[in-house]
């Protein structure tokens, strides 16, 4: 098994992750000045002056290094973490981001394929959705099932309890729109449900888990596939080759790399400051919520994470999976499907950073 990162400690608030190493605060390595006094007790010798001058210079270097270190840390995205998987914990981790929506809020989640998928339950999310006066949004699927048409999908949303806690909007009910991808390796546009243009602010609320085609599903996939119309889903799945027909594609790396490319289109159109990402790490099956009969999880529930960086939050979830007991089946799924390629490519194209600070709010 390939190990992505060293051991992660999320028990202590003081422990911070930066990719595969913890953040080092250079202030703990202070330069101690040496003040030597002459026999008179008030005057310093020439030799002492030289020492003081040298140490003053050293102190200045240390101060500059500390400022440089602080600046570097400020550029590293923060991922907040709590072990409290509850409606209260979800609201608290949202509050930790100190994010203030300025307009109509879309809460993007998966409604879950019937009959037994591991979608985020309404009782868990309702307080957060209510707090932001949010609308739960989704798009129809491209692979058949009970969410492939608007009428059927709306029934699933009702059956799963989402319409009882908030307004529900199928964004592709009235069509689709294209948003440009700049600098993409595989695609040049994102094809999203037309109602996406009705929202100013976005909470990407994702259930982190495995995925039969992408290796894992988190924030990036929730946007790239979840916000795409059915034709947009085919477009992403086939790395821009087609917009209709089967979602199956032979080039695994290309399609996985297309996921973060699509997310750049959303970020650029909406504005990065108008999007936050929350991942819930419970019911960690190897199977996605698009599977109505998922395998039972082998890993215990871990917690909830939040960030403004989609690459960082998904990388943090991956790191936590790799340190969890019982992770063999999920790790195998991630590696077999080259899931890390999405994060590597996401960092390469500037979507986000795989280096991050993990801050425990408990």
pLDDT in tens, 262-283: 999 999 999 999 999 999 999 9
* Residue 16 falls inside a structural domain: no
Q: Are residues 101 and 136 in the same domain?
A: yes
Q: Are residues 84 and 67 in the same domain?
A: no
Look up the domain containing 63 and give its range: 24-74
* Residue 7 falls inside a structural domain: no
pLDDT at 74: 67
Q: Are residues 213 and 158 in the same domain?
A: yes
pLDDT at 144: 86
Instruction: Count CB neighbours of 342 within 10 A.
Output: 31
Residues 360, 81 contacting (CB under 8 angstroms): yes
Q: Which of 48, 124, 41, 131 is nearest to 89 (CA)?
A: 124
Q: How many domains does the chain have?
A: 2
Alpha carbon 318 to its chain centroid, in Å, reads 10
Backbone φ and ψ for 107, nearest 5 degrees, come out as -110, 105
pLDDT at 75: 87
Q: Are residues 133 and 147 in the same domain?
A: yes
* Residue 142 falls inside a structural domain: yes
User: Per residue in 210-229, pLDDT tens?
Assistant: 999 999 999 999 999 999 99
Which residue carries 């190493």 as its tokens?
Answer: 21
pLDDT at 73: 60
Alpha carbon distances (Å) from 249 to 206, 246, 286, 290 = 24, 8, 20, 18
Q: Which of 19, 28, 32 is nearest to 65 (CA)?
A: 28
Mean pLDDT by 10 residues, the chain (362 residues): 35 36 27 27 39 44 46 80 98 98 98 97 98 98 94 98 98 98 96 98 98 98 98 98 97 98 98 98 96 95 98 98 98 98 98 98 98
* Residue 60 falls inside a structural domain: yes
CATH of the domain at 197: 3.40.50
Q: Are residues 260 and 285 in the same domain?
A: yes
pTM (2 d.p.): 0.83
């Amino acid at each position: 098994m390939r190990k992505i990162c060293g051991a992660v400690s999320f028990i202590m608030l003081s422990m911070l992750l930066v990719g595969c190493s913890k953040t080092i605060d250079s202030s703990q390595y202070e330069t101690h000045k040496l003040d030597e006094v002459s026999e008179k007790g008030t005057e310093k010798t020439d030799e002492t002056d030289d020492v003081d001058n040298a140490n003053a210079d050293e102190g200045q270097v240390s101060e500059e290094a500390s400022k440089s270190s602080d600046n570097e840390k400020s550029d590293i995205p923060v991922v907040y973490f709590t072990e409290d998987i509850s409606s209260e914990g979800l609201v608290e981790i949202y509050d930790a981001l100190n994010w203030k929506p300025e307009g109509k809020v879309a809460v993007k989640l998966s409604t879950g394929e019937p009959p037994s998928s591991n979608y985020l339950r309404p009782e868990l999310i309702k307080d957060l959705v209510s707090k932001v006066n949010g609308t739960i949004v989704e798009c129809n699927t491209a692979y058949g099932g009970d969410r492939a048409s608007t009428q059927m999908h709306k029934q699933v949303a009702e059956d799963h309890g989402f319409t009882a806690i908030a307004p529900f909007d199928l964004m592709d009910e009235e069509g689709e729109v294209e948003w440009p991808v700049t600098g993409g390796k595989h695609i040049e546009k994102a094809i999203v449900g037309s109602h996406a243009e009705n929202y100013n602010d976005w909470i990407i609320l994702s259930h982190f888990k495995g995925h039969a085609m992408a290796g894992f599903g988190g924030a990036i996939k929730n946007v790239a596939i979840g916000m795409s119309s059915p034709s947009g889903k085919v477009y992403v799945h086939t790395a821009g080759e087609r917009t209709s027909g089967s979602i199956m594609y032979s080039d695994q790396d290309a399609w996985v790399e297309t996921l973060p490319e699509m997310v750049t289109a959303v970020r650029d159109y909406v504005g990065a400051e108008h999007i936050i990402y929350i991942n819930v790490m419970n019911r960690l099956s190897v199977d996605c919520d698009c599977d109505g009969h998922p395998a039972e999880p082998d890993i215990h529930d871990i917690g909830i994470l939040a960030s403004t960086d989609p690459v960082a939050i998904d990388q943090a979830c991956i790191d936590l999976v790799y340190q969890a007991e019982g992770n063999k089946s999920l790790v195998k799924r991630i590696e077999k499907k080259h899931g890390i390629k999405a994060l590597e490519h996401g960092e390469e194209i500037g979507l986000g950073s795989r280096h991050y600070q993990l801050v425990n709010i408990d």
